[in-house]
Chains A and B, each alone.
Chain A
Amino acid sequence: MGLKILVLAKQVPDTRNVGQDAMKPDGTVNRAALPAIFNPEDLNALEQALRLKDTFPGTTVHIVTMGPPRAAEIIREAMFRGADGGYLVTDRAFAGADTLATSYTLSLAVKKLAPFDLILAGRQAIDGDTAQVGPQVADKVAVPQITYAEEIQSVKDGKIRVKRRLERGIEIVESPLPCVVTVHSSAAECRFRNSKLTMKNKHAKTLSELQETESSYVNLYKTSPWLTITEWSANDLNPDFNCLGLTGSPTKVKTIENVVLTAKESVQLTPSDSDMDNLMKELIANHTIG
């Protein structure tokens, strides 16, 4: 029994290693200064997909990503690790999308790929941290959703059983397929690249990439169809243009503040009862404790 799995993924600026030039003076993220990476929790989601592929022969795993042309990089990255391919949803019309417009766009792409058995996604992206896109896609595609997944325990008789990582414990839930599962960072880390798949897929490119750079391996794309990464523009999705990009985004950023954290003066305490007593009183008085 092979499954058809789609993994929603995003290329994000690496906000884990933020330097001084991470923000522009206008308060927006300076994407040029931060390396673009595969959103970490999307890699956790990819690993869950690849494990199902290991278990059920005939399973296919495809990445669906919305982003600029260079986001094709994460589709290649996924292919190096075991994904079969991917779809890059890219158009200037998508620019400035908030979670509503993004999930609308992704849901159209996903519907175009129906029928499918399972949609996996990271819980949230490290640039926005909203955790909204996965659930919204589930809603728009009208399938059940399981969030905060730590492990897919089984897929059997059209049902999926998932262990969820919650704030105060774990929960095991079951859902009929198809459904959306968003995966938490506590799930298994994604496997390393596979050497043969990396060599096999390293020339994978979108048509725009092929047009931009001269490839000395043009014939390769005729004999190896998997090397062409599908690219969809807005028109390919037949959308309501009012729901795309900035126009389709009700979220408005009012102001962004640069918060500089500074250390306050330190107090040296002696290990005496009176010092401890005074400290406790002070902490209770300023409501730090109690």
Chain B
Amino acid sequence: MANFYSDNKALRFHLEHPLMQKIVKLKEDNFAEKDTFDYAPQDFDDALDSYDKVMEIVGDISANLLSPLAESVDHEGPKIVDNEVVYAQGTQQGLEAFRKAELLGMSLPRQYGGLNLPTVPYIMSGEIVARADAAFCNIFGLQDCAETILEFGDEAMKEKYLTRVCAGETAAMDLTEPDAGSDLGAVQLKAHYDEAKKTWILNGVKRFITNGDAHVNLVLARSEEGTNDARGLSLFIYDRNDKAVIVRRLENKLGIKGSPTCELVFKNAPAELCGDRRMGLIKYVMFLMNGARLGIGAQSVGLCEAAYREALAYAHEREQFGKPIIQFPAVYELITNMRVRTEAVRSLLYETSRFVDVYKAYDMLAKKRDLTAEEKADARVYSKLADIFTPLVKLTSSEYSNSLAYDSLQVHGGSGFMKDYPIERIYRDARITSIYEGTSQLQVVAAIRGVTTGGYLNQIKAYEAEPVNARFDYLREQLAAMTADYAKAVELVKAEKNNEYIDFHARRLVEMAGNIIMGHLLVLDANRCDCFAESAEIFIKLVYGENKQRLAYVENSEVKDLGFYKI
């Protein structure tokens, strides 16, 4: 039987990373629930075995249900019937399968019916699902909204909503408005407290809301009259059972057509305030978005895997000039680079997931007991790493998924341009990943802090300090040279003491850092499993040249050049 988890050995490899010991111990609070829940793990090995088995189920459903249905879902799409969104048949079947398998609410605590999975296997399930059907990955991935309620909601809210998400209800994050996209501080949807009804009331319009007709909706709204910036915004929970929102339209999109993108009109919709007033965007939505960005990372890596596999299969089967086209250098180079980039960015995805795991587990622990000073310091380290790695992985993976889909379609030649092969859908589906949950340009704005504060450089030094087999020394030397180039480029740009100039070069610098980090991660992977040695070598060769080019550009650039580009 096909299985999208067990046919990809790299996934199990990442599940078994040494840091998982620490993560599982924190997440399971020393296996405190082993006697209260019959499905809770007894110890570390037992937990890892459980993750493996759960991933196998996700891989089974993805390969044998979602993947064969993806084409019909793309074709049929959702529709509005009596002010309700009705998913495509295939989407409904997929959701039903995940519901029955109890795979929704994966990361939530067991007391609400969740599986208490760490971020790593949860994100992995997103990758597996996206390889089958990227559009379905959106609806599946929005279960992550529950994390925000878990982190900031009160106990009654958690009891009410988290149990419902675990039972299979879907969620949505209602943030964007016609005039508030990248700039969410401009959100205008109005929230006021109705003293008579003793509830908050929402009025206004949201646009481009993925899965907007979800059961549980997190809504960013302006609760403070007279304000115009982020500090006047609060986060609310709107329950679809209250039937006070009109789904005005579904967007007709280029890709992820199975995922409903809604325009919503809130008409005196009752809602509950989640957390504190005024903290909506500043704190809660930032938390929510970080989770969502990691989710897009998973979706993008799944798309990379799908694009790579489609290219590989086609190149073996298609013959020209009397032999399969995979035998031509122009083709095999493309395909191998696709594999290598997928492995590199996957490694970055799970590294970031681990950072998120550690700090989130400390967060949950802190709700039960006081953390020691040492634990607090440790949590801070991982939280900072998660902060600078999340935009990096969102940026890199989404750009890779687009570039891999492009190359894979290219391998298909004219056939790839027709609707006869899945790559046509994958190509369209990938396009949104570098746009939503913050465009690539905005990821750079978030990631540049990692460059200017030295966060990336510190982590690169930490990787250098990890001992590896001497046979990888030559790769480490190349990475050291790349690091010197990077440091030089950063110094050159910073020396101008001009923020606009930093912004101008920001993407170049962030990408240089990303390449070095992924190079180090692949070397560490190769040290743990020989199967990554070749990829490490190829990847470092590839990005060594890319970084040289970026350095040359920076060296050849001056502040006054900005004038050339201003229009």
Answer yes or no: do A and B interact: yes
List residues of A whose CB falls within 8 A of some B CB.
Answer: 191-200, 202, 216-217, 220, 223-224
Which chain A residue lies CB-closest to B117?
A195
Task: List 17 A-B pairs, Cβ < 8 Å.
Answer: A191-B101, A192-B57, A192-B60, A192-B61, A192-B65, A192-B100, A194-B100, A194-B102, A195-B54, A195-B101, A198-B54, A199-B41, A202-B50, A202-B53, A216-B45, A217-B46, A224-B38
Which chain A residue lies CB-closest to B53?
A198
> Contacting B42 at CB < 8 Å: which of A194, A197, A220?
A220
A36: shortest Cβ distance to chain B, in Å? 13
Please tell me if B103 contacts chain A, counting CB pairs below 8 Å. Answer: yes
> Contacting A195 at CB < 8 Å: which of B40, B45, B65, B115?
B115
Contacts of A198 in B (CB 8 A): 50, 53-54, 57
- Whether B102 pairs with A195 at a CB distance below 8 angstroms is yes
Contacts of B417 in A (CB 8 A): none
Contacts of B35 in A (CB 8 A): 223
A-contacting residues, B47-86, CB 8 Å: 49-50, 53-54, 56-57, 60-61, 65
A35: shortest Cβ distance to chain B, in Å? 10
Contacts of A191 in B (CB 8 A): 97, 100-101
- Whether B53 pairs with A192 at a CB distance below 8 angstroms is no
- Whether B100 pairs with A196 at a CB distance below 8 angstroms is no
A202 to B43, CA, bound (A): 14
Q: Which of A196, A199, A200 has the most CB of B within 10 A?
A: A199
> Contacting B57 at CB < 8 Å: which of A193, A216, A224?
A193
Chain B 21-50: CB-based contact to A (< 8 A → 1; otherwise 0): 000000000000001001111110110011
Q: How many residues of B contact A (CB 8 A)?
A: 25
A197 to B115, CA, bound (A): 11
Which chain B residue lies CB-closest to A54?
B100
> Contacting B115 at CB < 8 Å: which of A192, A193, A196?
A196
> Contacting B102 at CB < 8 Å: which of A196, A220, A224?
A196
Contacts of A194 in B (CB 8 A): 57, 100-102
Which chain B residue lies CB-closest to A50?
B100
- Whether B39 pairs with A193 at a CB distance below 8 angstroms is no
- Whether A199 pairs with B53 at a CB distance below 8 angstroms is yes
- Whether A199 pairs with B101 at a CB distance below 8 angstroms is no
- Extra A-B contacts (16), CB below 8 Å, given A191-B100, A194-B100, A199-B41: A191-B101, A192-B57, A194-B101, A195-B101, A195-B103, A195-B115, A196-B39, A196-B102, A198-B54, A198-B57, A199-B39, A199-B40, A202-B49, A202-B50, A216-B45, A217-B42
B309: shortest Cβ distance to chain A, in Å? 20
- Whether B39 pairs with A200 at a CB distance below 8 angstroms is yes
B285: shortest Cβ distance to chain A, in Å? 30
Task: Name the 10 nearest CB pairs between A and B, nearest first.
Answer: A199-B39, A200-B39, A200-B38, A196-B39, A199-B50, A193-B57, A195-B54, A195-B102, A192-B101, A198-B53
Which chain B residue lies CB-closest to A198?
B53
- Whether A195 pairs with B42 at a CB distance below 8 angstroms is no
Q: Which of A193, A194, A197, A220 has the most CB of B within 10 A?
A: A193
Contacts of A196 in B (CB 8 A): 39, 102, 115
A194 to B104, CA, bound (A): 11
A84: shortest Cβ distance to chain B, in Å? 13
A249: shortest Cβ distance to chain B, in Å? 32
A194 to B99, CA, bound (A): 9
A191 to B64, CA, bound (A): 12
B55: shortest Cβ distance to chain A, in Å? 10
Contacts of B46 in A (CB 8 A): 217
* Given contact pairs A193-B60, A217-B46, A224-B38, A199 touches B100 in the complex (Cβ within 8 A): no
A78 to B101, CA, bound (A): 14
A85 to B381, CA, bound (A): 47
Q: Which of A195, A202, A217, A220 has the most CB of B within 10 A?
A: A195
- Whether A195 pairs with B38 at a CB distance below 8 angstroms is no
A194 to B101, CA, bound (A): 4
B420: shortest Cβ distance to chain A, in Å? 26
Contacts of B97 in A (CB 8 A): 191-192
Contacts of A224 in B (CB 8 A): 38
A194 to B38, CA, bound (A): 14
Which chain A residue lies CB-closest to B50?
A199
B199: shortest Cβ distance to chain A, in Å? 35
Contacts of B106 in A (CB 8 A): 195
Contacts of A220 in B (CB 8 A): 42
A82 to B220, CA, bound (A): 41
A278 to B389, CA, bound (A): 74
Contacts of B115 in A (CB 8 A): 195-196, 199
- Whether B49 pairs with A195 at a CB distance below 8 angstroms is no
Contacts of B53 in A (CB 8 A): 193, 195, 198-199, 202
A93: shortest Cβ distance to chain B, in Å? 33
A217: shortest Cβ distance to chain B, in Å? 6
Contacts of B54 in A (CB 8 A): 195, 198-199
Contacts of A202 in B (CB 8 A): 49-50, 53
B65: shortest Cβ distance to chain A, in Å? 8
Which chain A residue lies CB-closest to B38?
A200
A-contacting residues, B364-405, CB 8 Å: none
A199 to B117, CA, bound (A): 12
Q: Which of B38, B40, B56, B115 has the most CB of A within 10 A?
A: B38
A107: shortest Cβ distance to chain B, in Å? 32
Which chain B residue lies CB-closest to A82?
B100
A224 to B37, CA, bound (A): 11
Contacts of A217 in B (CB 8 A): 42, 46
A193: shortest Cβ distance to chain B, in Å? 5
Contacts of A195 in B (CB 8 A): 53-54, 57, 101-103, 106, 115
